[in-house]
Structure 1
Amino acid sequence: MVLVFAAIIVRVHCALEQLGTDCSMEELANLCPELTRNQVIRAIDYLDRAGEIRVTRDGNGTYRVQVYHAVTSAGSSAAPALV
């Protein structure tokens, strides 16, 4: 069961990376038609708590998801950055 959830997390994260920007939860769910809405929401919750994405709510009450990307510079370690 843990391996299945890990695969779901990877799938959702990859879909976000493909977009390269923020999107609504609805758009993200549509990018993963093989997953249920509940699976997508659980993966988003996990990734948000892990600090890999940021979830915000816009003025219309729509939840938006934004992925962090590692940014490196000479001699420094990777640090998360928003795209």
Structure 2
Amino acid sequence: MAQPYSGKAQKILTIFLCFWVAFFEGFDLQAPGIAAKEIATSFGLDQIQMGYVFSLGVFGMLFGAFFGGRIADYLGQKKS
């Protein structure tokens, strides 16, 4: 049977994983801004419509955070 991580190793692993998740989330948030001109051209959208597109993306993250947080709280850590 595999030994669980020690307390310190588990904290380091958690911080390491959180850093990389935040790092790649930054790319996820910046990519639409870089691709905006091509997206607008491809779909024939003006600046106001592109504003709606990006605003709805951020608004969608609100629901993801709310429901994702609720699900995480419900599932939570299992007591051993």
Q: Is the TM-score greater than 0.5?
A: no
User: Higher relative contact order at CA 8 Å, sep ≥6: structure 1 or structure 2?
Assistant: 1
Structure with more strand by fraction:
1
Structure with more helix by fraction:
2
TM-score, length basis structure 2: 0.30
